[in-house]
Amino acid sequence: MTAADVASSTKISTTLSSLGPKTSWTPLQTDKFEAIWYGDSLNDDACDAIVLYMHGGGFVLGRADSSAEMIVGILSTAKAQHNKTLLGLGLDYKLAPEHKFPSQLHEALAAYEYLTRSGLVASSRIETTREQAFTPSYCGRYGLSVNRDTDTIGADCLSRWAHAYIGTASAKDPMVSPILGDFRGCCPMLIHYGGKEVFEDDIDILCERLKEQQVDVTAVKNPLAPHDTLIMPALYGDMATSGGEIIAAFLAKFA
């Protein structure tokens, strides 16, 4: 995968996600990571929790601002329906192939540590969200043959993304492939996904493994949804809205 491929894919995803209403954000730059504060987050004098968001794209494409409408919508829903004030910080991690594993993990940890020192909320009130539960190295192994005609992601791009991100690391490393991870003792999780996306079977397996490890996991599958419906509400309408409401309720519950 070349830098030109990444730039082209990012442009397409940004264009699609910008079809809806415009939203605002405020850049944040440190010596260890870059991010954006979503919406009018910083205008709130007090908040119940901070949502640290890592955008999807397999660590090879995408930007935090591409998901601005989705995140601002979730934060607004948490306030309107649950009376919880949530701040949203979106991590703009550096992309592969120029920056390979584990660069993005180091940036995510740096962003989390930044928030713990910010004084905005207690560390127990920092909630992390990820648009895509898998890195491309292991995902799609089962679901591709089932849902390849109902999703926009194919085997060829997954293979390119995997090689671009992993580099010389092993796909069997749990830090590369979360489906192989040990999550015992982890905080409660919500996994929201679609029954028509290529990752469906892999996410099913991940949910079962989390339950086997006695993690408090809430799995919600929309049987008709392909991948990434929430970031394109202009295309997916009620399917995107209902998903955002589910996520907002979960975040508000633990805020």
Contacts of 14 (CB under 8 A, 6+ apart): 63, 65, 66
Task: Give CA 213 to chain center in angstroms.
Answer: 22
Residue among 240, 205, 186 at smallest CA distance from 74: 240
pTM: 0.86
Domains in the chain, CATH or no CATH each: 1-131+237-255 (3.40.50.1820), 133-227 (no CATH)
Output the pLDDT for position 177.
87
Output the pLDDT for position 23.
74
Backbone angles phi, psi at 166, to 5 degrees: -70, -40
Average pLDDT over residues 194-220: 91
Window from 12-21, 54-63, 105-114, 193-202 with minimum mean pLDDT: 12-21
Average pLDDT over residues 232-252: 94
18-56: pLDDT as tens digits? 555 567 789 999 999 999 999 775 665 678 999 999 998
Q: Strand order of the sheet with strand 126-130? A: 25-29, 34-38, 86-91, 49-54, 126-130
Strand partners, 217: 189
